[in-house]
Amino acid sequence: MIVLRVKLDCRVNTEDIAALNETLRKLTESKTKPATDVQNTKDLLLPDGSRYTGSILNGLPDGRGIKHFPDGGR
């Protein structure tokens, strides 16, 4: 059995980490906003009895929204 010991010298640029954290925060924030934050949010009754609440383009669901099923599920 051979055992190797290696000493690593790691240096971290804290400015890079701060910038990365800010970018990740913005990405996460934009994906977690509820559909009610979208301008022109409307309700659309679909043929299967479900209801879509969110942005609508050309009469169809578009972008962020919530689909409410007849059984109360989302």
Rounded CA separation 46/66 (Å)? 12
Question: CB atoms < 10 A from the CB of 51, how many?
Answer: 13
Number of C-alpha atoms within 13 angstroms, CB side, residue 41?
A: 14
Host domain of residue 47: 35-74
pLDDT for position 38: 46
Q: Is residue 29 part of a domain?
A: no
Residue with the bigger pLDDT between 7 and 51: it is 51
| Distance from chain centroid for Cα 1 | 49
Whether 45 has a pLDDT exceeding 80, the answer reads yes
Q: Which residue has the tokens 């509820």?
A: 34
Of 28, 29, 55, 30, nearest in space to 44 by CA: 55
Of 12-16, 29-33, 48-52, 62-66, highest mean pLDDT: 48-52
pLDDT for position 7: 76
Q: Is residue 24 part of a domain?
A: no
pLDDT for position 39: 54
Q: Is residue 54 part of a domain?
A: yes
Percentage of the chain exceeding pLDDT 90:
0
